[in-house]
Structure 1
Amino acid sequence: MLMDNLRKGFPVLEQYTYLNTAATGLLPEKVWEFRQDHDMDYFLKASILKEKMGDMLTGVRETVGEFFNCAPNRVALIPNFSYGFNSILESIDKPNKALLIENDYPSINWAVESRDFEVVYADMNEDLEANIIEKIEIEKPHFFAFSIVQYINGVKLSLDFLKKLKEKFPELILIADGTQYFGTEKFNFDESVIDIAMSSGYKWMSAGYGNGFMLFNESVQGKLSPKHLGFGSLQGKYKAHEGNFIGKFEPGHYDTLNFGSLKVAIEHIQKIGIDTISDQVNTLKEIARQRFIKAGLLEKWIAERKDFSPLFNIKGNDSLFGDLKGKDIITSLRGEGIRVSMHYFNTEKDLNQLFKALNI
């Protein structure tokens, strides 16, 4: 597929150099059209439309499961990552020991720290993987909760490293946030060693706000005691006859607008091809990385990592951020610098606009 074709249906790209998917992903035209049609149906039909809610949510669950290679009876639909993660933490017996990464996404660290867990941390530096292993060996935590891709600097934990971790510590429960990762490359959940993976859909999945998902390994279900219950816990396929495990993460009435958007967004990704998306993302992130390294805009240890994401934190301040915004280049202030992120609908032209503005 021609790269220019990947930009079609995103009017924001005609107005801005949008390098901010790590904050908010763009809404594809197909998703927008679905949302328009859905709310017109709701406006005209009310409960007649909602009578089909169970069938629609089953379709969403099966689409998510197919895309990530996870059986639909192990897929829970959630409104966002934070809701899902908090419900997981409520399912884990306390007191217990948790391992976190220093300065990881606040919705991870704050949620764990606010509960009756003993918390230990792996330092975020050039020895990150070694730090994680050392902490596990010494502290023997019950679970390790982490982002696959760090939201501030884009540091990525490779799936190969996670497999080695699981081999070395098979009883350790791995709970992964994929919000800054899912949608950038192919991910096979059942071939990974992650016990619980979850994500919001509004970033790299391009599904808009108000939707997300959780993927469960078979073995982890017996180690959790989910407590949420409501009318939605029993409604629909894959729930009651499965011991009602996933239903306990779906207690209420669900918004078919938002979850339908997730289904259409995944279908959009499938139409383009996740390999096509990954190829474009890999091309752009390598160009960006090399240019940022040459200009001395990246921390040395981050620049030298073998596996990296299309999310970078470059040296810069409020003034530079304002200058970029004034030139219609959309980025984010995060941590000590400016976060730049590129997805499949971006092009080398977008990067060149950024490089020109940065004088590099």
Structure 2
Amino acid sequence: MDNLRKGFPVLKQYTYLNTAASGLLPEKVFEYRQDHDLDFLVSASILKEKQGEVLTEVRETVGGFFNCAPQRVALVPNFSYGFNTLLEGLEKPKKALLIKNDYPSINWPVESRNFECFYTEIDAYLEDNIRTALKAHQPDFFAFSIVQYINGVKLSIDFLKELKKEFPDTIFIADGTQFLGTEIFDFDSTGIDVVISSSYKWLNGGYGNGFILFNENIVGKIHPKHLGFGSLQGKYKAHEGNFIGKFEPGHQDTLNHGSLSVALKLLRDTGMENIEAQVNKLKDFAKEKFSELGLLEDFVVKRNEHSSIYNIKGDHELFKSLRKANIIISQRGEGIRVSFHFFNTVEEVEKLLDALKTRR
């Protein structure tokens, strides 16, 4: 267990149960960032000349980590940039299916454009609700979070695989920001058309970097309009009209994208099988204890599939009490959101439980 916690100094100061808000910055990523900017300080354009090599390595690292060919990986500064670029590439009008109260950065951009929007509810029967809505409305695209940001409700990858087979003509656009980094994810095996993710949460990649994974069949269904000199620069984009290049029109940030590469290699070296096992252990233990204390919504208790994010009953006074005890959590929705990653421990969950019992 100590090996999983190495390289995260913040864990010595706090009981950090807040990865759903912001992941930790690993020491190795911090060291890379220092070295990178020192190189820039002393070499200026000489460092810039290596940009193509750096970004090629990042693209290949991302593709290898999630099993997506590097020529189908776009590097973007965050989820919202990538998602808005993608939406602008969809011919209008289109019918869209959304999940009610999904992350605003998903629903707001769709609602702000000339799309006909339909919604499905989050409850114990979310999967049935989605299937029913797809049958009833036959949307052109379905945009959704794999894991819901407020309460951690999760759509299983197996369900999404089956659903895509049932509705092959609907474009599936998934936000992986609250999911990627918690378990092994083989993109090409899912059939999902597009996965977009920021990297500052469960991947511990810091801010200013993200990526898009594209199914090989998506080209021709989306026509992004962004274009710039950077659209044609690099090993995988060096021809006019390149698809991923239209998501990368300007100069790319080698500091931030390079940080993602280092973070992914750290996860790889830790072992995603070890990370997944630890996350599962913590989320199952927490769900059992939270359920016993009556802290979860009834439908969350009933669901078999869930993430390591929970929204427990509590007010602002409880939030302040936990923060005073150096337990880092967030207020979301009508409760308090807690989240567990691989560097957390059962002892930390128990510390939270003790604090909650004291307040009852």
Query: Where on the TM-score scale, by shorter chain, does this alignment land: which range?
Result: over 0.9
How much does 1:127 deviate? 1.7
Alignment of 1:121-160 (within 5 A): 121-160=119-158
Aligned partners of 1:289, 1:19: CA distance in 2, in Å?
14
Counterpart AA for 1:170 = P
Q: Give the deviation of 1:349 after TM superposition.
A: 1.5
Structure 1's 297 and 110: CA in aligned 2 closer, same or farther, altered over 3 A? same
Q: Say whether residues 1:15 and 2:13 are aligned partners.
A: yes
Deviation of 1:4 (Å): 1.2
From 322, 325, 331, give the equivalent of 2:323. 325
CA offsets, 1:185-215, max 9 Å, x none?
A: 0000000111000100000000000000000
CA distance, structure 1, for counterparts of residue 52 and residue 239 of structure 2: 15
SS of equivalent residue, structure 2 residue 123: coil
- Matched-pair contact (CA < 8 Å) for 1:73–1:242: no
Summarize deviations over 1:214-273 as a string: whole Å, max 9, x none: 000011111010100011101101113485100000001011100000000000001100
The answer to whether structure 1 residue 85 and structure 2 residue 108 are counterparts is no
**Aligned-partner residue type, residue 284 of structure 1:** L
1:305 aligns with 303
2:86 is the counterpart of 1:98: no
| Residue 72 of structure 1: how far off its partner (Å) | 0.3
Equivalent residue for 2:200?
202
Q: Alignment partner of 2:40: what SS?
A: helix
Structure-to-structure mapping, 1:100-249, within 5 angstroms: 100-241=98-239, 243-249=241-247
Cα distance change of structure 1 residues 232 and 91 upon mapping to structure 2, 3 Å threshold = same
Instruction: Tell me the equivalent position of 2:281.
Output: 283
Aligned residues: 358
In 1, Cα distance between equivalents of 2:125 and 2:182 = 25
Shift of 1:20: 0.2
Q: CA deviation at 1:303?
A: 1.6
Give SS of 2:217's match: helix
Give the SS at the match of 1:202: coil
Deviations 1:116-171 (A, max 9, x none): 00000001112211111111111110000000000000000011111221121110
Q: Which residue of 2 aligns with 1:349?
A: 347
Q: What secondary structure, in the 3-state scheme, does the structure 2 residue paired with 1:323 have?
A: helix
Partner of 2:35: 37
Partner of 1:6: 4
Cα distance between partner residues in 1 of 2:70 and 2:161: 23
Amino acid at match of 2:170: L
d(CA) in 2 for partners of 1:219 and 1:12? Answer: 43
Amino acid across the alignment from 1:334: R
Partner residue in 1 for 2:255:
257
**Distance in 1 (alpha carbons) for counterparts of 2:331 and 2:266:** 30
Where 1:220 maps in the other structure, the secondary structure is coil
Deviation beyond 2 Å, 4+ runs, structure 1: 240-243
TM superposition score normalised by structure 2:
0.98
2:65 maps to what in 1?
67
Displacement after TM superposition at 1:305 (Å): 1.2
Root-mean-square deviation over aligned CA pairs: 0.9
Show CA shifts across 1:69-93 (max 9, x none).
Answer: 0000000000000000001100100
Where in structure 2 are there 5+ consecutive unaligned residues?
Answer: none
Secondary structure of the residue aligned to 1:198 is strand
Distance 1:310 1:242, change over 3 A: farther
Q: Output the CA distance in 1 between the equivalents of 2:219 and 2:313.
A: 43
Report if the CA contact (8 A) 1:104-1:146 is conserved: yes
Could you tell me which runs of 5 or more consecutive residues in structure 1 were left unpaired when the two chains were aligned.
none
Between the aligned residues of both structures, percent identity stands at 64
- Structure 2 counterpart of 1:67, which letter? F
The one-letter code sitting in structure 1 at the alignment partner of 2:297 is E
2:265 maps to a residue whose letter is E
Q: Which amino acid aligns with 2:218?
A: V
Give the secondary structure class of the aligned counterpart of 1:25.
Answer: coil
